Structure 1
């Protein structure tokens, strides 16, 4: 069996839990606003990621920050556990030992994460899928396909899509504005020691990323002006 076991089980568990939540009820609070505002006051470099076009835009970005702070630890933990899993699997010699170890890991995941994952909303799940891709370099769909089968991956994705979650989603900060916003928030949180830094599976040059979006916004403004 491939070394993607932990990741696959984690997500099979995750999306079965998301299925119990049919509404995204996350709201902005005064505490959220004050916390994020204090973060931004310490920012030195201003990028499109912390420029607001309206109060609604500001609110949306503040809520996005709250979501990232909520789910990033799960993404980081997944990557950390995969590393540990790879090291342990390399030491196991028989399929029987590996299967036994798989069951132990599965039981641990169920006991440790199910109560916490029940608290996540559908939008949290969408962000988590992107962050998992950031940390592992593979989509959830592909990882489940590797571990289980193409049919299992299809079934899992079909179920997830009922709750507006696509397991094939990739993390594309140079292509998708929300992903750029996510990377901006992560970069600020890492620099201020508010989240524990973990480098993405596929390196991202944040200065290059910011310059790209600044240039893109300027080009768009000029085009609209004409």
Structure 2
């Protein structure tokens, strides 16, 4: 599985808390309030970054709490790779579009593949199975495409099929998508990211997917209350 993820980065992407506080009187701003986990989120009407005041994390059991913190550790570990993948994909598309001859495109690709191999191969090989699957999900979050489709676009459909089949042997799918509005674990990953962004633990990169974190938080919070 580790070799599969390295291959994906090699051929797929050649080129390789504490909430933010706005120190202004609240009554000086026209604001809209959004409720998230029982707390307020203020969105100012003037050109300021969104400010999230996150509610306290609550867990139904120690097992649930442990699961969340393990997921947080793994998500924070692999997120920088997904962020880099999205950035390199944009750079790749921009660069390739400016190279008219296929021979030059191939030469360019080989150079950046060597760059990836030298800088990131050892780190990617250290990922566990679950970390690899989270990475595949985050790549979809950042690009809107599955790892399978990205390999297919940049290589051949047969290679994408082969590597997805091999990955399945390790209980990991390159076709995995990211749906925080439908899958609870995906929502937890998004929650982890938003809290890490707010505390400046991770550099923010917005998802290309169409969902609203505040609405998701309300949805899953209400869903949890109904289950209880």
Q: Normalised by the shorter chain, which TM-score bucket?
A: 0.7 to 0.9
CA drift at 1:168? 0.9
The residue aligned with 1:160 is 167
Show the 5 A alignment for 1:45-194.
Answer: 45-46=54-55, 50-194=57-201
Contact kept? 2:136, 2:147, Cα under 8 Å: yes
**Other structure's SS at 1:167 match:** coil
Gaps of 5+ in 2: 1-5, 21-51
> Residue deviations 1:17-44, cap 9 Å, x none?
xxxxxxxxxxxxxxxxxxxxxx389984
Residue range with higher mean Cα deviation, 71-80 or 81-90: 81-90
Looking at structure 1, the residues matched to 151 and 217 of structure 2 have their Cα atoms a distance apart, in angstroms, of 33
Q: CA deviation at 1:12?
A: 5.9
Q: Deviations over 1:96-139 (max 9, x none)?
A: 11010010111111111111112111110010000000000011
Contact 1:8 / 1:144 at 8 angstroms: preserved in 2? no
Aligned-CA RMSD value: 2.4
CA distance in 2, matches of 1:118, 1:148: 21
Paired residues of 1:157 and 1:167 also in contact (CA < 8 A): yes
* SS, match of residue 170 in structure 1: coil
Q: Which of these two proteins has the greater Rg computed from alpha carbons? A: 2
Gaps of 5+ in 1: 1-6, 15-38, 222-226
Q: Return the TM-score normalized by structure 1.
A: 0.77
Give distance in 1, aligned partners of 2:226 and 2:199: 31
Aligned residue number for residue 10 of structure 1:
9
Deviates more, 1:140-149 or 1:176-185: 140-149
For the residue of structure 2 that corresponds to 1:93, the secondary structure is coil
Larger helix fraction of residues: 1
